[in-house]
Chains A and B, each alone.
Chain A
Amino acid sequence: MDLRYGEKYEAFRAEVRAFLEGWPLQGDEAKLPEQEQQALFRRRGIERGFVYRHVPVEYGGSGGEPDVILDQILQEEYAGSGAPGNLLTQGAAMLAPTLLEMGTEAQKQRFVPKALTGEEIWCQGYSEPGAGSDLASLSSRAELVGDEWVIHGHKIWTSGAEKSDWMFGLFRTEPDAAKHAGISYLLIDMKSPGIDVRPLREMTGGALFNEVFFDGVRTPAENVVGQRGQGWQVSRATLKHERNMIGNPNQTRHMFEELVALARKGDGNAGPGLSDPHVRQRLAELEGYLLSQEYTAKRILSATARGELEDVMLPMMMMKLHGTNLRRGLSDAGFDWIGADGLRELLDEEQVPYAAGTPGAWTARMMSAIAIAIAGGASNIQRNIIGERGLGLPRDLRAPKG
């Protein structure tokens, strides 16, 4: 065991740090609109090899050799600096890796670069009113007419659909095939005629997800990812990236530090200066879970670097459930400790997401911890995966194979 990164990697870290000192931008550049500043900085990062490091240059990345340790150092440094690095959007974090793995050359060139920069915003059209956990029972359908897919159906809980340019989604294309075998993974321009996006209001008061209706919407035949009828396999690749994003410890570490600061301030229910033994115990117990998450991430990273992923299959399956349990624990504590400020409703949509350090942030987190326990495969589904695939327990009584 050796937790040092070694000279080569520390030298890389030093270069990254020096580069990150360029944020925030100075002089005339600081007068540009926020969006443009971020784009400018990210472009420089790509040139230096510090943003989308291992994505090939022709698809908008830095074209570096695969090296998970370099990726890790970049993650650590960006997380600490607040500088804009890799976007964590559905397009950049989920669609782009899926296309790089399974898309055609034309799809990679057309879609990946703009997904990475955020020039084109993507949404994920999987869930339907009758197909959530049992996603393979979806019924929205697409039919190949000439050189176009013609789509009819209804998607729901589609995050960000109202501001998206494109959707990657699952549609039934082979009505006679078995449940999992009849689905295709399609890319659809959200400005196409026949699409109707209707906001769904969340319990927080915000409206970050939507219903999407398709009435004869058309998308070119070549906008199918993977083979027709293989959409299920393609969507597994995307979901893997979604779960990794949710199980990532950077955000929980940050939330934990904020929680300690809140408890130290103690102007709500926590008692001043971290003096309350219950508060101290609760924090320390949460830290035990946080450290578990961090060390598991390190184990997975090391095994990946060594090419011995089978060693960590079980903890990898556990990351989403562990991470969402932890977020619930952290945000519950924060909500409890803000005290009576937790009585205030969060109806100011302008403020979502609520600024860190404000009471509203804890109220919002307390609720969003539930959202991530549902999205990307609900906790019970994770338990099934861990139990059946991880621990070898038998399948559910009535769940059909697939």
Chain B
Amino acid sequence: MDFGLSEEQRLLQDTLRNFAGQECPLPRLRELFEAGQGHDPELWKGLVEIGVGGLALPEAHGGSGLEVLDLALVAEVLGEAALPVPFLGHALAGLAIAWGGSEAQQAEWLPKLATGDVTATVALLEGSSAWQPEEWALAPGASLRGEKRYVPDAARADLLVVGTQGGGFALVETGDPGVSWTAEEGLDRTRGIAHLHLDGAKAEALPGAGAAARVRDAALAILAADAFGAAWRLLRMTIEYAGTREQFGTPLAQFQGVKHQIANAATSLEPARGLWWYAAHAVDQLPDRAPHASAHAKAHLTDRAIGAARDAVELHGGIGYTWESDVQIWFKRVLFDRTFLGGPEVHRERAAQISGW
């Protein structure tokens, strides 16, 4: 029994942390945040070189053959760094093709996803909700007509995996004349979102059944991990700030009111780490457990993370509430993780149903 990370997994995280620290220091992140595009092609290129593009894709198709847990570990670091890269959509689209695609579809697309020659994303939501496979209403067929909302990292994607009625997936190339976008101004400026219009776009269904539910579970675990990383980053920033900012002649952190608030936030967050570890692991290895575990991970982690994030803003005082302060970058990153694909209440109710309550 080993509920912990392997040497390789730690190494992967260290590599990514170094990369983020070197390639996207705060001033650069701030520039990207101000630009509001949610995407930096150079950063993404660098990540793909590290292998992030095909991390959990089969080795036979150019991937590294790792697992959803490894994707979640990447997400934790990306959340910590608030890295503006199209990781979420790309990773999920890759899983959709690997789990639901035909041999030919896999052979055509996966190697390109792994090398980053093609960037992909998933188009799931149809309104402000309807993100679950069983809620999709878009009629399947050789061409697709309809709308998808809040598509992550859409502006730079070459390939779309679109959710269709009955929990199906279809592949659509963004170069198709039937595809158009309205970019939305995203709250989280480190990850873009767009409104997708499909007007007779050429589509190719993925034959595999059941892939959509699995992709959803993977998405929930990955969002939980991202929120966890972002919230810990906020706590660390707060610990540093409270250690240097003086009021009443002493650092804030020496006041118990402050110290205890930080200790409480950390204690609500850190013990929950195993929730996303387990959920991600379950998607790969314990399929029966994955829906329940990932629902809990998403609900609990994003709830605890937003609590920690609120404390972080508050403990930075007035400066923390300014546009100028960096805490807003991570606060909004957590808000994205919490809101995208359903908030805590929705997932708690799902978990309750899965438990047979």
Contact = CB atoms under 8 A, between A and B. Distances in A.
B273 interface: yes
Interface string A284-320: 1101110111111011011101101001001100110
B286 interface: yes
A176 to B, nearest CB: 31
* Binding site secondary structure of chain A: helix
A179 to B, nearest CB: 21
For the side of the interface on A, what is the size category? 35 or more
A280 B69 CA distance: 29
A277 to B, nearest CB: 7
B271 A322 contact: yes
Contacts of B300: 285, 288-289, 291-292
B277 A295 contact: yes
Contact of A281 (B69, B260, B277, B345): B345
Contact of A391 (B6, B262, B281): B262
Given A284-B348, A386-B263, A314 B253 contact: no
Interface stretch (B35-43, B132-140, B157-165, B349-357): B349-357
A285 B242 CA distance: 30
B267 interface: yes
A321 B264 CA distance: 9
Interface string A114-157: 00000000000000000000000000000000000000000000
B270 A315 contact: yes
B357 A274 contact: yes
B1 interface: yes
Nearest to B345: A281
A1 B286 contact: no
B5 A1 contact: yes
A81 interface: no
B254 interface: yes
Given A288-B275, A303-B4, A383 B349 contact: no
B350 to A, nearest CB: 9
A30 interface: no
Contacts of A303: 4
Contacts of A104: none
Given A280-B352, A322-B271, A383 B2 contact: no
A291 B275 contact: yes
B278 A295 contact: yes
Interface in B244-291: 250-251, 253-256, 259-260, 262-264, 266-267, 270-275, 277-278, 281, 285-286
Contact of A383 (B254, B259, B344): B259
B299 interface: yes
Contacts of B3: 1, 3, 295, 298-299, 301-302
Interface residues of B, number: 45
A292 B274 contact: yes
A394 interface: yes
Contacts of B263: 321, 382-384, 386-387, 390-391, 393
B239 interface: yes
Contacts of A308: 4
Given A281-B345, A318-B266, A387-B263, A291 B1 contact: no
B290 to A, nearest CB: 13
Contacts of B277: 1, 295
B270 A318 contact: yes
Interface stretch (A4-12, A43-51, A220-228, A352-360): A4-12
A5 B2 CA distance: 8
Contact of B349 (A69, A284, A291): A284
B333 interface: no
B272 to A, nearest CB: 4
Contact of B69 (A1, A314, A390, A395): A1
A396 B254 contact: yes
Contact of B348 (A9, A281, A298): A281
Contact of A299 (B243, B273, B296, B349): B273
A121 to B, nearest CB: 34
A137 B277 CA distance: 44
Contact of B259 (A9, A319, A393): A393
22 contacts: A1-B69, A3-B281, A3-B286, A4-B1, A274-B352, A280-B348, A283-B357, A285-B348, A296-B273, A298-B1, A298-B3, A299-B273, A303-B4, A325-B267, A384-B256, A384-B259, A384-B263, A386-B267, A391-B239, A391-B263, A393-B253, A396-B259
Given A284-B296, A291-B296, 12 more contacts: A3-B285, A69-B1, A280-B352, A291-B300, A299-B274, A314-B270, A321-B267, A380-B256, A384-B259, A387-B259, A391-B263, A392-B243
Interface of B: 1-6, 69, 239, 242-243, 250-251, 253-256, 259-260, 262-264, 266-267, 270-275, 277-278, 281, 285-286, 296, 299-300, 303, 344-345, 348-349, 351-352, 357
